[in-house]
A and B are shown apart, each in its own frame.
Chain A
Amino acid sequence: MAIRLEPRGEVSQGMIYGSPLVAVAATLVSGLVLFAILGVSPLDALFTFFISPVSSLDGWTELFVKATPLVLIAVGLSFGFQANVWNIGAEGQLTIGALAGGGLALLFFEAESVLLLPAMMIAGILGGMAWAAIPAFLKTKYNTNEILTSLMLVYVGLLVLSWLIHGPWKSPDGMNFPESRLFHDQATLPVFVSETRLHIGWLIALAVVLTSWIVMARHIIGFQVKVIGMAPMAARFAGFNENKVIWIALMISGGLAGFAGMIEVSGPIGKIQPMISPGYGFTAIIVAFLGRLHPVGVLFAGMLMALTYLGGDAAQIELNLPNAVTGVFQGMLLFYLLASDVLVKYQIRLGPSAPIVFKAGPSK
C-alpha cells in the first residue's frame, strides 16, 4: 500500500496562521523528550531554556538586541519572497552595509557631529542596496537566477570585509589583530534603557515592521508584490511591471539587511571585526517563513528565534547541556513548521490514488 500526499481542496486560512503555533508546540513536546534523554528534568529544562532568559528586564533587553537584526532582515526578505524574488544573500548585503556604515565611522573618526550617526545609517542602507543591485541587474537584464548570484555575493562580501580589516582599516593599536578601532561615542547607537545594551536599533526595527505592514496591506506596491507572487501571468496581463517589482523587492531586502549590518557594528559590536554576523542573513530566512512572510509574524518569529539563542546559553550555564542543543531546537522548529505546512495544504492518503472528480462551477 502506498502513502500519498493529495492537495486539500480547501486550505483553512486559520490553519495557515496556526501552523507556526503547532510547530512551536511540537518542538516543545520533542524538547521534553530530548531533555529526558539527556538526563535532566524536562520541565526544569524547558523553564531554563524558554522562560529564565526572559525573566528579568535585562533578559528582555538582550532578547531585543538579538532579535533586532533578525527582524529587520526578515521583514525585507518576506517582501521579496512574496513576489517570488529569492534573495538568499542577505548575509552579504548585511556585511557590505556594515562596511559602508562602519567605514564612515572610521573615516570621520574624530568627528563630533550629531549628523554622523544618521549618515552612517544612510550609508549602511545604500551599501546593502548596492550589493543587492547586482543580482537585481543580472536578473532583470539577463534573467540570471538571483538565488545563485545573491548567495555567491555573500562570499565576495566576506572577502571584502576580510581585506579591509587585514589592511587599510586595521586598528593602529590593535596588536596587528584583524579588527578596526572601537568607534567613538558619536558613531555608536544610543542605548535607551540604561544599564543594558538595548539600543535604538530595536525601536527602528519596530517602526520598520509597522511601516511594511501598512505598505503591504494598503499600498499599491504591496498589492503588486502579492499578485506577482501568486499569479505572475495575471500580473503581467494587468500590466504590472515585473522588473520594477524585482528591483523594489531586492532594494528593500538589501537595504534592510545593510541597515541591520550597520546597526550591529554601530550598536553591540562597536567596531568592524572579522565576524560581524553569526549568520543572521541566513537565520532570517527561517524567521521570514516562521512569521508567514507577514511583518507582525516576523516580529514574533524573530523574537522566538532570538530566544532559542538565549535559551541555549542558559541551558549550558545552568544545566551543563551542550551548545548543540540550540541548533537542535532551531532545526526542530523549522522541521515541524515545514511538516505542518505540508499537512495544512495536503492530506495523507493510503492506497492507490483516488479517481479524479470533476466538479462543476468555477475553478479555484
Chain B
Amino acid sequence: MNKSSLIGIGLAVVLIIALLSSVGQGPSEKAKDDGKLSVGFVYVGPIGDHGWTYEHNEGRLAIEKALGEKVKTTYVEKVPYGPDSERVIGKLASSGTDLIFTTSFGYMDPTIKVAKKYPNVKFEHATGYKRSDNTATYSGRFYEGRHVAGLIAGKMTKTNTIGYVASFPIPEVIRGINATILAARSVNPDVKIKVIWVSSWFDPGKEADAAKALIDQGADVLFQHTDSPAPVQVAEKRGIWALGQASDMRQFGPKAHLTAIIDDWAPYYVARTKAVMNKTWTSGDTWGGFKSGMVRMAPYNKAIPADVVALAEKARKGIIDGSVHAFQGPIKDQAGKVVVKAGERASDKMLLGMNFYVEGVDGSIPK
C-alpha cells in the first residue's frame, strides 16, 4: 500500500469520527432566547439589482423600521432555483426563523416541501399558486401599472412601435404585455408591440442586447419585464423612451425614464409580520394593486405633456375607484376572436392563467 492511500484512509477515519461525534450532539441550532420575531427572506437576485430583489429588500428594511427592536430580519440573496433553494429555505426554517418570504416563482415547490416539514413556521411565497396551511401566496397587480404606462407609451411613440424585453412566457408576463398594448391602442390604434424573450429575470448583458435589437427594429419606447436597469440605460444612450420595472430607475436614464411601475411590498410585509406577532396570521392569497398601495407609479418625466400626465392620472385614480379596468371588453386575441365581450371585464381567473396575446402584439408566444 502506498503513502497516498494511507493518507486517504487516515482522512476517511477522521471524517467518520467527526460525523459520529457531531450526530451524538444532535442539532445544535441556536435556541431563540431574545424574544424577537425572526423574519427571513430568500431572494433570486442580488439586493443591488435595482429591480425586483431590491424592492423586496426595501420591504424587509421597512419591517425593521416599523417594528424596530421587536424583530430581527435576515436574508439570503442570489439563491438559484432547485436544490439550493430548498436547502436555504430549510436552513432558515431550522434556525429559528418564524416567518419566511420566498420571493420568486421558482421557489414554489421547495417552499411547499419545506413548509410541510416545519408546520410551526409561516411561509409566504410570491407570485405562486400553491398554498398550504402555513404557506400563503401574494403578488401585485402590476398590470394596473402597465395600463397607465401603456397609455403614456401610446401617446409618446412616434414610430408606433413599442419594444418589450420579456423574461419567461408565464401568465404574469403575458398579462403585462397585453395590458400595455390594450392601453396603448386605446389612445393610438396604430401601435404595435415587439417582444424579445431573454429567458432570465436578471441578466444585464442579455437585457441590453435585447433592448438594442428592439430599437434597431424601430421601437422608440422600451418596456421591460426583467429586473436590471440595463434596458433603461440603453434607451438613454440611444435617445428613446423607457419605462422602469419594479423600482424607480430614473437614475439610470434621467432623460429616457418616462415613469416606472413600482412594486411596494413594504405595507404587506409589515402587516404580515404584525399578524404573526399577534398570532392572527392565516394562509391565503393576496393580489394587491394601486388600491392597496402594492403597486405605485414613479414620478412622471417632465418631458411628458401635461394632458398625457392628466390622462395617466385619471386612469390610475379610475382603477383605484373601480371605474377603470385594464382588461375592459371588447378584447380580441391575435386571431381576431373576441375573448372578453363588450361591457365585460376579464375575470381574475382568466388573468391568472393568461396564455394568449391580444391583438397588436407581434409574433407568437414561445411554445
Contacts and interface: CB of A to CB of B under 8 A. Distances in A.
Interface of A: 13-14, 17, 52, 54-60, 62, 65-66, 162, 166-167, 170, 175-178, 182, 195, 197, 213, 217, 264, 267-271, 273-276, 278, 294, 296-297, 300, 303, 309-310, 313-314, 316-318, 320, 322-323
Nearest to A168: B367
B170 A268 contact: no
A279 to B, nearest CB: 9
Interface string B35-73: 000001000001000000000000000000000000000
12 contacts: A17-B4, A52-B28, A166-B367, A213-B8, A264-B82, A264-B83, A268-B82, A270-B109, A278-B80, A313-B87, A317-B91, A320-B74
A276 B84 CA distance: 11
A278 B81 CA distance: 9
A316 B77 contact: yes
Contacts of B366: 166
A296 B2 CA distance: 13
B287 interface: no
Contacts of A309: 84
Interface string B1-18: 011110110011001001
B87 A178 contact: no
Nearest to A326: B78
B80 A55 contact: no
B83 A65 contact: yes
B105 interface: yes
B76 A317 contact: yes
A305 B355 CA distance: 42
Contacts of A278: 80, 82, 84
Nearest to B354: A176
Contacts of A167: 367
Nearest to A278: B80
Contacts of B306: none
B11 A274 contact: no
| The 3 nearest A-B residue pairs measured at CB | A296-B8, A268-B83, A56-B27
Contacts of A52: 28
A114 to B, nearest CB: 24
Given A54-B22, A296-B5, A297-B8, A273 B82 contact: yes
Contact of B74 (A57, A170, A310, A318): A318
A290 to B, nearest CB: 13
A294 B358 CA distance: 59
Contacts of B92: 317
Contacts of B329: none
B25 interface: yes
Contacts, number: 124
B105 A177 contact: yes
Interface in B335-353: 353
B87 A62 contact: yes
Contact of B353 (A57, A175, A271, A300): A175
A26 B117 CA distance: 39
Given A167-B367, A317-B95, A217 B5 contact: yes
Interface centre among B3, B78, B87, B106 (most CB of A within 10 A): B87
Given A178-B168, A269-B83, A56 B19 contact: no
A182 B366 CA distance: 21
Nearest to A14: B3
Residue picked from B23, B74, B82, B129, most chain A C-beta under 10 Å: B82
Contact of B28 (A55, A66, A294): A55
Contacts of A316: 74-77
B24 to A, nearest CB: 10
Contacts of B90: 58, 62
Contacts of B27: 56-58
Contacts of A213: 5, 8
B76 A296 contact: no
A267 B86 CA distance: 12
Q: Which of B11, B74, B83, B174 has the most CB of A within 10 A?
A: B83
B19 A60 contact: yes
A328 B109 CA distance: 30
B324 interface: no
Interface of B: 2-5, 7-8, 11-12, 15, 18-19, 22-23, 25-29, 40, 46, 74-78, 80-84, 86-88, 90-92, 94-95, 105-106, 109, 117, 129, 168-171, 174, 199, 353, 355, 365-367
B275 to A, nearest CB: 23
B169 A313 contact: no
A313 B7 contact: no
B3 to A, nearest CB: 7
A17 B87 contact: no
B83 A57 contact: no
B22 A55 contact: yes
Nearest to B43: A323
A297 to B, nearest CB: 7
Given A175-B353, A176-B169, A313-B91, A323 B86 contact: no
Contact of A323 (B11, B76, B367): B76
A167 B40 CA distance: 35
A77 B4 CA distance: 19
A306 to B, nearest CB: 10
A172 B171 CA distance: 14
Nearest to B7: A17
Nearest to B8: A296
Contacts of A176: 169-171, 174, 355, 365
Contact of A57 (B22, B106, B117, B174): B22
Contact of B109 (A60, A65, A182): A182
A9 to B, nearest CB: 21
A264 B353 CA distance: 30
A273 B355 CA distance: 19
Given A167-B367, A296-B11, A323-B46, A175 B91 contact: no
Given A55-B28, A59-B22, A273-B82, 7 more contacts: A17-B4, A57-B23, A58-B27, A182-B109, A278-B82, A313-B76, A320-B74
B76 A58 contact: no
Contacts of A54: 18, 22
Contacts of A274: 81, 199
Nearest to A163: B366
Given A13-B3, A268-B82, A268-B86, A56 B74 contact: no
Contacts of B171: 175-176
B86 A197 contact: yes
A160 to B, nearest CB: 14
B81 A273 contact: yes
